[in-house]
Amino acid sequence: MTPAYDDLPALMTLMTGDEKHGASATSTLDVIWVLYDRVLRPEDRFLLSKGHGPMAYYAVLAAKGHITEADLRGFGGPDSILGHHPDRTLVPGVEIGSGSLGHGLGLAVGTALGQRLQGSHARTVVLLGDAELEEGSNAEAIQYAGRAGLNGLTAVVVDNSSASLGWPGGIARRFTVEGWSASDVDGRDHDTLERAFAAPGDSPHVVVAHVERKES
Amino acid sequence: MMDQRERFYGLLPQLLGDDERLVAVLAEIGAGYIDPGPVADRVINVGIREQLLVGVAGGLALTGLRPIVHTFAPFLIERPFEQVKLDLGHQDVGAVLVSAGGSYDWPEGGETHMGPRDVALLDTLEDWTVHVPGHPDEAESLLRAAAAADGRVYVRLSAGSNTQPLATDDRRMTVLRRGSRGTVVTVGPMADRTLAATEGLDVTVLYAATVRPFDGGTLRATLNAPDVVLVEPYLRDTSTPQISRALQGVRRRVLGLGVGQEELRRYGTRADHDALRGLDEAGLRRSITAFLA
């Protein structure tokens, strides 16, 4: 039987050994699940820019058949394909290697440009964290994607209020001022997330997915 | 004579016209000089955003396209070095990076626009092919080859050139002169002045327009006395480890000549800086004769 959302915690346990998973470890879980379960088509690409804490991502990849439960059990081991940051050359279904913050959005802009140049209507969806957004490289990518009208590009910022200096006025406006459309949503509500990821208009789109504050 | 950079700007639309896989990515530099004509959709100017310049190149490559990325050397290799390392190397994708400005092609512009560290920095990364053409014809042939390849290639264009193209098509070093008292390896635009500086000295002179991979085979095959001088247009001693590797097991002496690490804080012309840095004909002759004496 194909694993469902309720099976994800058990898959994560195979990696961590913990029965329970804190809000930090699962901050991206619902967003990634909704993307893989309801939004992404086979030609679409998902880029995990925030490569730190990838257990939720690996659990979804296992649930969707890209990797096996045996792969999960080896998490972080010397012969494992699964590191604490993902490597695209090792893990089936992983589009980018990430870990150093602020690289995924630029790669996603290039990917969306490449798809558009080749006449593809595939979407490129990139996941960032609210603290990751502090990296200045994101500003370059946000500005350019807006000017270029890259409507094949969707960014999702999982906001667990972990940016030390915060985002006065909210995250979405950093994108909308550059010509993006934006949705501010509950990052745990699957139906709301699905609607926020609905087919884009004529501009790049950002989904700001709010979840519980990171435990310190 | 049209210089290497002008040759690149003229060639780029042709390359893109001939191969739909190619996409040019610019960060303003060059955008005003390139006339893209029918390939305008594949000439992408991201503005003055060099992290994005290389990030976009990585993303394009992930979709199967081959990016040709261009700006001045310090803004292509130094400022976005982590993007070069991760968005290209770590993603295991290919790209052609084409720099202009060399080490000090615009000395009036001062330190911020000098790029002598580029090849040394790329040496810290895996699997980069590095071309340092010494003539516009070499630049064109190396650019064509880089565009048609798949891996990561750096083409370092210089304002100065030799009077004649000297490189061979097989990317091996060219034997410019044979002697018996040592070998001088000269790179790219340094060839003419190296030949002049070694006139009358009994040395072999080898010429390289491709420095990575380094052609140690030709150096070993032509070696007479185990005294080797390296004349490079970028950071001094960049290729000294390559000489050591090529001559492993041979007792040898090596002299590296090139651009020093020190910041001179001087303006002036390229000729002024060649003299200040001991890289003009007289300076090279002084260093080489002292080493061989």
Q: What is the CATH number of the domain that holds B84?
A: 3.40.50.970
Global pTM?
0.97
DSSP letters spanning B7-27? HHHHHHHHHHHH-TTEEEEES
pLDDT for residue B288: 98
Which residue in chain B has the smallest CA separation from A141? B52
Number of CB pairs < 8 Å for A and B?
95
pLDDT in tens, B253-264: 999 999 999 999
pLDDT for residue B116: 98
Contact A106/B52, CB-based, under 8 Å?
A: yes
Quick one: pLDDT band at residue B105, thresholds 50, 70, 90?
very high
Do B137 and B188 fall within a single domain?
A: no
B33 has a pLDDT exceeding 70: yes
pLDDT for residue B43: 98
pLDDT for residue A22: 82
Give dist(CA A207, CA A154) in Å, integer: 8
Chain A residues lying within 8 Å of B61, measured CB to CB:
110, 114
Quick one: pLDDT band at residue B82, thresholds 50, 70, 90?
very high
pLDDT for residue A215: 73
Nearest beta carbon to residue A89 from set B47, B67, B92: B92
Do B183 and B148 fall within a single domain?
A: no
The enclosing domain of B256 has a CATH number of: 3.40.50.920
Do B206 and B109 fall within a single domain?
A: no
A57 has a pLDDT exceeding 70: yes
Is B163 within the bounds of a domain?
Answer: no
B42 has a pLDDT exceeding 70: yes
Is B161 within the bounds of a domain?
Answer: no
Average pLDDT over residues A171-191: 98
Nearest beta carbon to residue A106 from set B23, B51, B64: B51
pLDDT for residue B4: 98
Is B232 within the bounds of a domain?
Answer: yes
Quick one: pLDDT band at residue A214, thresholds 50, 70, 90?
confident
Is B39 within the bounds of a domain?
Answer: yes
Task: Round the average pLDDT of chain B to a whole number and report it.
Answer: 97
Predicted-complex ipTM score: 0.97
Do B148 and B193 fall within a single domain?
A: no
Is B162 within the bounds of a domain?
Answer: no
Chain A residues lying within 8 Å of B21, measured CB to CB:
none
Count the neighbouring beta carbons within 10 Å of the beta carbon of residue B2: 11
Nearest beta carbon to residue B87 from set A89, A95, A103: A103
Average pLDDT over residues A31-42: 98
pLDDT for residue B141: 98
Is B165 within the bounds of a domain?
Answer: no
Q: Which of B115, B130, B156 is the last residue of a domain?
A: B156
Do B33 and B115 fall within a single domain?
A: yes
pLDDT for residue A19: 82
Is B217 within the bounds of a domain?
Answer: yes
| Share of residues in chain B with pLDDT > 90 (%) | 99
Which domain, by its residues, includes B239? 174-292
Instruction: Identify which of A115, A132, A133 has the alpha carbon closest to the alpha carbon of residue A124.
Output: A115
Is B164 within the bounds of a domain?
Answer: no
Do B114 and B201 fall within a single domain?
A: no
Do B14 and B130 fall within a single domain?
A: yes
Domain count, chain B: 2
Chain B residues lying within 8 Å of A112, measured CB to CB:
59
B243 has a pLDDT exceeding 90: yes
Contact A107/B54, CB-based, under 8 Å?
A: no
Chain A residues lying within 8 Å of B83, measured CB to CB:
103, 106, 137
Do B9 and B143 fall within a single domain?
A: yes
pLDDT for residue A24: 79
pLDDT in tens, A73-106: 999 999 999 999 999 999 999 999 999 999 999 9
pLDDT in tens, B192-231: 999 999 999 999 999 999 999 999 999 999 999 999 999 9
Give dist(CA A90, CA A84) in Å, integer: 13
Q: Which of B126, B156, B186 is the last residue of a domain?
A: B156
Do B147 and B267 fall within a single domain?
A: no
pLDDT for residue A20: 85
Quick one: pLDDT band at residue B1, thresholds 50, 70, 90?
low
Do B26 and B117 fall within a single domain?
A: yes
Contact B51/A140, CB-based, under 8 Å?
A: yes
Q: Which of B156, B182, B203 is the last residue of a domain?
A: B156
Do B244 and B275 fall within a single domain?
A: yes
Residues 92-111 of A with CB under 8 A from B: 95-97, 100, 102-103, 105-111
Do B86 and B135 fall within a single domain?
A: yes
B201: its two tokens: 């000295």
A35: its two tokens: 């993307």
